[in-house]
Structure 1
């Protein structure tokens, strides 16, 4: 890894990414922010400080909808030369169905494959959704699963696209570990419904309910993502809802248990599903 970590932030003009960028820069890390529209470049570059302190952000003009293969994704990654990758992109779920699948499913999978094929990339944080599961988490209540059913009914294509990408992420992360890279961090950060409210800096992290009645602010998601990226002991599915626990305390609690929220999912079925798409 370079002396200063370099982070490729995919979906750099999204609301979570715009909160996350200055937090990463404040650590002294460099950020390569991938955005589709050149008009958004000024919104990203404004985070560079005139006094030279902190990291530096640069912009990669990359239309994720046009990424049709892992080779296309690899070109973006090679140009950025990151140590860490963050997927904060998404079609939003309410636009054209074709765009939802092109970005939330296919482009996500292409970047997962391309990034995890490079040993120099040691962390990949994928921002997903707490309801991206095939069955209820064992610790959920009936009300928790009912809230997921409502999301599936309202946004069926978004649900299918995110689920496919998440399952691929799980399989490829497991494969990388099985190949001997036990230090790699594959983190699937899974917030509940999002809001534009100011950060509370109080959350529940790890094994939670769905928190459907209390959306979490995008700023809080960014704060958690920043802190998790700075650690070496968080991996796998990690659910995130608004709560009463200070962010640092909530993350530390999960780190001590070394638990993730994948329990209840079927990794072997996922391996069979993606057996022709492995590293």
Structure 2
């Protein structure tokens, strides 16, 4: 398998890269700063898969055509979005990267016959409606973050998440389209502690909560390795072993998009009838 890893120097991606390589998969890690190239390449030492670095700024991706050029260069089987402005460059950069560039790569990935999976690393509070499993107090915390603390980030992630969901839904409705796994992994507050390998995965009553970046990478790797994972998958550290949690989520087809207006997402982004991929 060939993996296109966007945001390759991010902390989650740095944990994820060697996990993918250990499977014998090949990884092309997209980074902006050439000073980080040697650090990235060192992650592949002694591992089965091949690791390459592609120097490219996601801020320069202004259209699906720009994203398509990168995809065509790499010819990936799976695309992983673990990128973001990280608060640098102000609100305009957040919208440009976390929202628009992400959407461009989604469009290009779904349009590329060789790509069969897209995994987005989003965040736990990226939703517009209070889900039935979340208490009023937990939901109030989500709303506070989304409207008062990180409003631009929340808007950008919600837009990207809903676009991915709409793309996946339209794809499912096309009887002639090949199957595509759209995985939206939604971790809580990220920490730098070592992995616990114990999680609360799929649908969690917590509106907030923390999870180690290494655990996020472990879950992403396990989700990508299966053919039966898709949808919104919430993640915080918890009390279930990570392998069993991923198996349960896949077996039970858990999707935390429940309660959101999926049909509204489809109509907003793709109002034209008979859209095909």
For the aligned pair, the TM-score class normalised by the smaller chain equals: over 0.9
> What is the match of residue 159 of structure 2?
164
Match of 1:30 in 2: 26
1:92 and 2:75 are equivalent in the alignment = no
Pick aligned residue for 2:202 from 206, 225, 228: 206
Q: State the alpha-carbon separation in 2 of the partners of residues 104 and 168 from structure 1.
A: 12
Of 152, 155, 168, the match for 2:150: 155
Alignment of 1:133-144 (within 5 A): 133-144=127-138
One of 248, 255, 265 as aligned partner of 1:253: 248
Give the number of equivalent residue pairs. Answer: 272
Distance (Å, rounded) in 1 between the aligned partners of 2:230 and 2:44: 30
**1:38 Cα deviation (Å)?**
1.1
Q: Does 1:11 align with 2:7?
A: yes
- Unaligned 5+ residue runs, structure 2? none
- The 5-angstrom pairing of residues 113-132 of structure 1 reads 113-132=107-126
- Alpha-carbon distance between aligned partners in 2 of 1:104 and 1:216, rounded to the nearest angstrom: 21
What is the CA–CA distance in structure 1 between the aligned matches of 2:207 and 2:271, rounded to whole Å? 36
- 1:146 is aligned to 140
Structure 1: unaligned runs, 5 residues or longer: none
TM-score by length of 1: 0.93
What is the RMSD computed on CA atoms of the aligned residues? 1.5
Q: Distance in 2 between matches of 1:19 and 1:116?
A: 26
Matched, 1:221 2:216: yes
CA-to-partner distance for each residue in 1:219-267, whole Å, 9 max, x for gaps? 1000000011001111100100110111001111111211211111111
Q: In 1, distance between residues paired with 2:200 and 2:18?
A: 23
Task: State yes or no: 1:59 paired with 2:59.
Answer: no
What's 2:179 paired with? 183
The aligned residue for residue 189 of structure 2 is 193
CA deviation profile, 1:127-182 (whole Å, cap 9, x unmatched): 10111111111211112212212211101000000000111000111112222346
Question: Could you tell me the TM-score, scaled by structure 2's length?
Answer: 0.94
Q: CA deviation at 1:94?
A: 5.9
CA contact (8 A) 2:142 2:207 kept: no
> How much has 1:110 moved relative to structure 2?
0.3
In 1: Cα distance, 2:118 partner to 2:30 partner: 15
Structure 1 residue 114: deviation in Å? 0.4
> Aligned equivalents of 2:133 and 2:178: distance in 1?
28
**2:252 matched to 1:264?**
no
The counterpart of 1:48, out of the listed 36, 41, 44, is: 44
Q: Secondary structure at the match of 1:97?
A: helix
Which deviates more from structure 2 when the two are superposed, residues 104-113 or residues 201-210? 201-210
- The more displaced of 78-87 and 133-142 is 133-142
Moved more, 170-179 or 154-163: 170-179
CA spacing shift, 1:276–1:43, aligned 2, 3 Å: farther
Q: Any idea what SS the aligned residue of 2:185 has?
A: strand
- Displacement over 4 Å in runs of 4+: 276-279
Aligned-partner Cα distance in 1 for 2:168–2:263: 13
SS of the counterpart of 1:200?
coil
Partner SS, residue 190 of structure 1: strand
